[in-house]
Amino acid sequence: MVKSLRHLHHKMGPYTITYFGVRGRCGAVRIMMADQGQEWKEILVDFADWMKGDLKATCVFGQLPKFEDGGLVLHQSNAILRHLGRNHDAYGKDGKEAALIDMMSDGVEDLRLKYGKMIYQEYDTGKDSYIKGLPNHLDKFEAVMAKNKTGFLVGDKPSFADYSLFEVLLNHLVLCSSCLDTFPSLKSFVEKMSARPKINAFLDSDAYKKLPINGNGKQ
């Protein structure tokens, strides 16, 4: 009932992403929209244009991505994922599940930040030790995934935290193709998410494949 009323007041979309030509912080957002059967418009921003500063001046935190849902303008990739979670019923079945999903999403963010630091600041000197330390981060997600038994982090269908974890794991598999070999639940999670028809089609699209993972070309 609440949900149908909310839909009366808030017409979803059309969604628009304004971002640089990378997967970066829109990777999970795009995968989630694709899996939810949404269409969206992409405005790709050239870094030289960005440096002129006009667009930056209009961004709440001076950064991209920018996400538009009709008249709603959002920044912060995790706020965007949460918004999609609310719009598409991918934020748990009740407040308790939502809290656990938030917790897992923050855990993914911690890993995403460590990965970004390595990629952007210490790729040449720090890549090997990062890969060596990776099991110590992945085992936490493995434990949650193994315990839940549904193939998702929380509940029995994908939440925005699952899309975020999935995308971070795809990037880590590019960094180190064997990194999930000792984590059977995560490995099966990635295989099953990749095989979902709409995700499979999106990952196979030129729109996805043409974009580098990170802005500095390292991966």
DSSP character at residue 180 = T
24 binds ligand GTS, rule: CB under 6 A: yes
The footprint of ligand GTS on residues 92-151 (CB under 6 A) is none
* Contacting residue, 36, 56, 137, 196, with ligand GTS by CB under 6 A: 56
Other Cβ atoms closer than 10 A to 69:
19
Shortest CB 82 distance to ligand GTS, Å: 12
* Contacting residue, 36, 38, 76, 200, with ligand GTS by CB under 6 A: 76
Other Cβ atoms closer than 10 A to 41:
11
> Whole-angstrom Cα distance, residue 146 to residue 175?
24
DSSP character at residue 112 = H
* Contacting residue, 44, 58, 60, 63, with ligand GTS by CB under 6 A: 63
List the structure tokens of 105: 């999403």
> Whole-angstrom Cα distance, residue 211 to residue 149?
33
36 binds ligand GTS, rule: CB under 6 A: no
Q: Which of 46, 112, 50 is nearest to 76 (CA)?
A: 112
Q: Closer to ligand GTS at the Cβ: 38 or 76?
A: 76
Measured from each CB, the residue nearest to ligand GTS is: 63
Residues that bind ligand GTS (CB under 6 A): 20, 22, 24-25, 56, 63-65, 76-78, 215
